[in-house]
Amino acid sequence: MSAAYAALARGGKYVKPYFYTKVVDREGQVILEKEPEEERVFQEETCYLLTQAMKDVISGGSTNISSSKTELAGKTGTTDNNVHAWFCGYSPDYSLSVWYGYDENLVQTDQGDYSLEIGIFGGDKPGPAGMFEAVMNDLPVKNSTFKKPAGIVEVEIDRASGKLPTELTELDVRGSQKGKEYFSTNNQPREKDDLHKEADVCSSSKLLSQDGCESERGAVLDLSKIRKVAGIEYEGDYGKLEAYKEGAVQTCDGNHSTAPPFSTGSSLSLSTGETREVIVSTQDPLKELYLTGDSVRGSIQGSSATLTGIKKGEAVLTAKTDSQTYTLQITVQ
């Protein structure tokens, strides 16, 4: 496993693991020497892009590991029923795989056979990721950064379309959608963003303006051009996609304020098993209030929703009036 990851750290060259470099006799004469054979299995550019992606995996999400001495990249792995947990990763100098589990995970009883859950995930600290981090921080470092091959460029992009940004990219009602990504030079974006369209925006609430708003120039996504988002058919899908859709086209409610109508603010974090009541107070009469996502169970009565976290994940509470749609992002931890 580590040899496979090492090929990524080595710019795409795989070397079959070996156990000695040389054997000498007592006079220092070499009697056996191992010449490692390299075989190119990935392109250098591909390795660099994969490494960038796996640098993101370990920072800021559910896995958070780092070293003050060197760059790290890696990936967690957890099997069904939580029977094995892996963390495999590498620095520019070393590749290391950590496995937690039972090598013979079979418990036989009169009632039948079963396997033991280890109760640990690949990204856990303490756990596989924690052990990886501790060892990597302890090793001497020669090269601290992954070498960028000549065929890689960092390009400024529009996050909505992945194409080159335009003036409208920065005027998006949700805030600037400008970002940076690495590309191989033969695959870098060359066309300009065409998903944004110009719109009048209320200068106070930064939502689409209506009569009575003091307007300024802004941009929204041209939804007629979106068929799929992240592989999901756009029409009729709920949850995150709904929030994305509505979030891009909300109209100022005349109060010129962005304050959400939910008693919890614009987002809500729940622990599994925790119950919270959310009261919705909208300017116009509330027409619909519904919950999407299977991480939260809810009972809704009028303008009050009682929500219970069921399992880790996300859900969305949507409130609609005749003119507005509001969404509350719920995260269950």
Residues that bind Zn ion (CB under 5 A): 202, 205, 213, 252, 256
198 phi, psi to nearest 5 deg: -75, 145
How many Cα neighbours within 13 Å face the side chain of 320?
10
Please state, in angstroms and rounded to a whole number, the distance separating the CA atoms of residues 56 and 226.
27
Cβ atoms of 207 and 172 closer than 8 Å: no
Please state, in angstroms and rounded to a whole number, the distance separating the CA atoms of residues 254 and 250.
12
Nearer of residues 73 and 252 to Zn ion, judged by Cβ: 252
Please state, in angstroms and rounded to a whole number, the distance separating the CA atoms of residues 161 and 7.
32
In whole angstroms, how close is the CB of 264 to Zn ion at the nearest point? 24
In whole angstroms, how close is the CB of 216 to Zn ion at the nearest point? 11
Output the CA torsion sign for 285, 288, 292, 294.
positive
In whole angstroms, how close is the CB of 204 to Zn ion at the nearest point? 5
In whole angstroms, how close is the CB of 213 to Zn ion at the nearest point? 3
Nearer of residues 38 and 216 to Zn ion, judged by Cβ: 216
Using Cβ positions, the residue closest to Zn ion within the complex turns out to be 202
Nearer of residues 149 and 254 to Zn ion, judged by Cβ: 254
Please state, in angstroms and rounded to a whole number, the distance separating the CA atoms of residues 221 and 193.
11
Nearer of residues 184 and 210 to Zn ion, judged by Cβ: 210
Element (H, E) at 242: helix 240-249
Query: Which two tokens mark 156?
Result: 């400024």
Nearer of residues 210 and 308 to Zn ion, judged by Cβ: 210
In whole angstroms, how close is the CB of 66 to Zn ion at the nearest point? 44
DSSP secondary structure code for residue 283 in this structure? S
Closest CA to 165 of 124, 195, 129: 195
Nearer of residues 88 and 173 to Zn ion, judged by Cβ: 173
Beta-bridged to residue 217, according to DSSP, are 200
In whole angstroms, how close is the CB of 126 to Zn ion at the nearest point? 51
